[in-house]
Amino acid sequence: MEQIQTVNGDNSVHYINLAALAVEELKKERELRMEAEHKMADYQNKALFADAVTASRESILVADMALILKQEGVEIGRDRLFEWLRGNGYLYRKEYGHNRPTQKSLEMGILELAETAIVNAYGRVTVTRTVKITQKGKEYFLKVITAQKEIINAQELEKKKESQKKQNERRKEKQLARRDDR
């Protein structure tokens, strides 16, 4: 295409060739720009993901906090810790968004709500929300809950006794029912 032809002293073929070259150059430049924009968007997504991973390393799940408390001698599991957090105003109850951090706990910086987008096999996106305890919250709850260790352990012991009592009653009822069937 770089050939320059002249016909009867007319440079029109030359100008047409130059215009075609310019159009090709513009197409190449546009493709390179679009490719660069796609790479930039990809890098931004990767940066957001990296930030999320970094934040999640600093925060822990409620179940992990329950394990830490158990190591400190507090007889509490994940469900009872959720119950304690709701009962003490750190998480909302069902009416306001079950197990979502309250404004108070968010402002204190002790809880956070991590959102994760999950794409299923059909391409439908579902957003899951997980309550996490921040590093500051870990220190805070260790201090507050271990101070209440005796009360919490006594409550747990009482619940275990009630549960065992109910199990024994059910066993006796089953044994009586078997005897009656014979």
Tell me the whole-structure pTM to 2 decimals.
0.56
* pLDDT tens sequence across 40-93: 877 776 666 555 544 456 899 999 999 999 898 888 889 999 999 999 999 998
Q: Which of 8-17, 43-52, 144-153, 166-175 has the highest mean pLDDT?
A: 166-175
All structural domains of the chain with their residue ranges: 1-58, 63-147
Interacting residues of 89 by C-beta distance below 8 A, sequence separation 6+: 102, 104, 105
Query: Beta strand 125-133 with 60-61: parallel, antiparallel or unpaired?
Result: antiparallel
